[in-house]
């Protein structure tokens, strides 16, 4: 029987290598685009990824409770609409 953990590790390593290659290719394309932009007299700004805010456990719980309340009310409203 094959070792599942080893298979998963191997797959993960392969995906990480692919991601590394893709990151290198993306970087090269961004550099090329920036160079083309400078030649045309216009500057092409690099797009920065927006950092995600980290939510505390309390914030996650509050969001969860709000969404549960929202969906409960929405289901009630839909049920009333079907009855009419």
> Can you give the pLDDT of all 84 residues of the chain as single tens digits?
578 998 999 999 999 999 999 999 999 998 888 888 776 655 556 777 888 889 999 999 999 999 999 999 999 999 988 887
Distance separating alpha carbons of residues 6 and 12, to the nearest angstrom: 10
pLDDT of res. 37: 75
**Up-side HSE of residue 77: CA atoms within 13 Å toward CB?**
6
pTM, 2 dp: 0.38
């Amino acid at each position: 029987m094959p070792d599942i953990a080893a298979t998963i590790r191997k797959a993960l390593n392969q995906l990480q290598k692919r991601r590394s290659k893709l990151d290198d290719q993306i970087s090269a394309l961004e550099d090329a685009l920036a160079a083309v932009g400078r030649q045309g007299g216009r500057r092409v700004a690099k797009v920065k990824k927006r950092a995600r805010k980290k939510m505390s456990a309390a914030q996650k719980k509050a969001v969860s409770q709000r969404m549960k309340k929202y969906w409960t009310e929405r289901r009630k409203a839909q049920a009333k609409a079907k009855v009419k």
